[in-house]
Structures are given as structure tokens and as C-alpha cells.
A and B are shown apart, each in its own frame.
Chain A
């Protein structure tokens, strides 16, 4: 134990301990970590996704980055602020990589990046979409015709009856 070390050696060790406690590596350990609160492999066929995350401690500032590759060579900052979720929409077909980090509001240094989420966006086939669109259109027309023709027929029937 340092406190029980004799004389000068103890002082040197205590000084070393104080120095290492303030070193960059150790500070990094104290910086807040952020993590996604869902699985790391996500998929969507509608082009949107809600991402949720959290950090160690309350009132942290977060940064969410996205990129086209896992190396984040050309990252885009999707969000910076207090929120612990973000809804992304209007995504085209493709693979998206996302990561988040946190910092305390009074400090400039960011904590380490979280594990990376891989989001696969694969929209439904257009053939299916247009087929259902056509089916819906026909159904709508049938309802309009059925209600319109029968209501008109009843109206005429009643007026002739009167």
C-alpha cells in the first residue's frame, strides 16, 4: 500500500499515482460512454427507423453519426443534443452505419464511440405496391358506384312513390 511505504519512496509513488490519475488515458476512462438500446442489426422496408440510446449519467449531450461504410470514412452528423432517440426517414435502399457518443455539457471532450449499428433498408417491390394500389382503386370505385347508384335509385323510387 502506498500510504504505508517508507519515506521518500512513498512520496514518489504517491506523486506517480496522482500524475497517472490525471493522464489522458485515465481521463478517457472517466468520460461518459453511450450505447444503443436496441440490437446492432436493424432492417426496414419503409425507409425509416427510430434509434434509441443512453449514456452513463443524466443530462449528457449526444452526437449521432451515420455513414455509408463501417469505417465511417465520410460521416454525417445526424444529431447533436440532449435527446436519447432520433427518428430517421426517407432512406433509400442501401446499408447505413450508425454510432453515437456522449459528453458532459460542461466538458468539451467526447466519450468513446458506441458499437456500430448496421441498418439495412430494402423497400418493398414496386410490383407489389402498384398491384395493391390498383386493387385499392378498383375497390374504391366499386364502393362509390354501389353507394351512388343505389342511393340515386332509392331517391327516384321515393319521389315517384310520393
Chain B
């Protein structure tokens, strides 16, 4: 299998995990945000493999590639997915008494499901399709 298809296969595993988590979306918004981002990571890598024959060396390298003009629409949804996953994983401050001390205080589980997954991730997938091979387009499990 090509690198493109390997990344699509991993994206599909993340998609299955997302389906599982979304059944109980009120309990796992942080993990939904994180898995949604990692699905986007794998799709972006599939795009790079097919479109540029490139493999990213980490998050910053991937983000830099997405700053290329041809990927403008991908960048616009990828960065918010990355930001959400970072805040989901690192914002935890229940002792200071501030208004927003956890990810789910900032984004309700409904917003994570409807805005992050059903809007951002879905749009990211749709915008990636023109950069994938026909076989990968068919293989990808879409939101």
C-alpha cells in the first residue's frame, strides 16, 4: 500500500474512534476534539503524500506546509482543529476561580460536536478531496 493509503487507513481508525466517542459526546468533548484533530493530521499527510510526495517531520512542519497558498482552505480549518486539541489537553486550572478553567467551559459538548466535528472537520475533509487520488477519496470514511 502507498503512504497515501496508509494515512487514509489511520484516518479511518480515528473516524471509528470518533463515532464511538460521539455516542457519548457530553462526557468526552476533550477526546472528541483530540481525535478529530488527529484524523485531520492523517488526512493532511495523505494529501502531502499524494500531492507533494512529502512526509511531515512533526506538527510545525505540517503546519508550515499547510501555509502554502494552494492549501489556504485546508489551513483555515486545520489550525482551529489543532488549537482545540491543544486547549482540550492542556487547559486545566480549577483552583484559580477564573471564568474559563477547562476546555468544556469554553466550548460546550454540543459546540464541539456541531462546530468542530460536523463543520470544521467535515469541511477540512471536503477541501482535501481534490488533493487525493480517486482510490483514497473512496477509501476515506467521511463525516
A binds B: no
User: Chain B interface (Cβ within 8 Å of chain A)?
Assistant: none
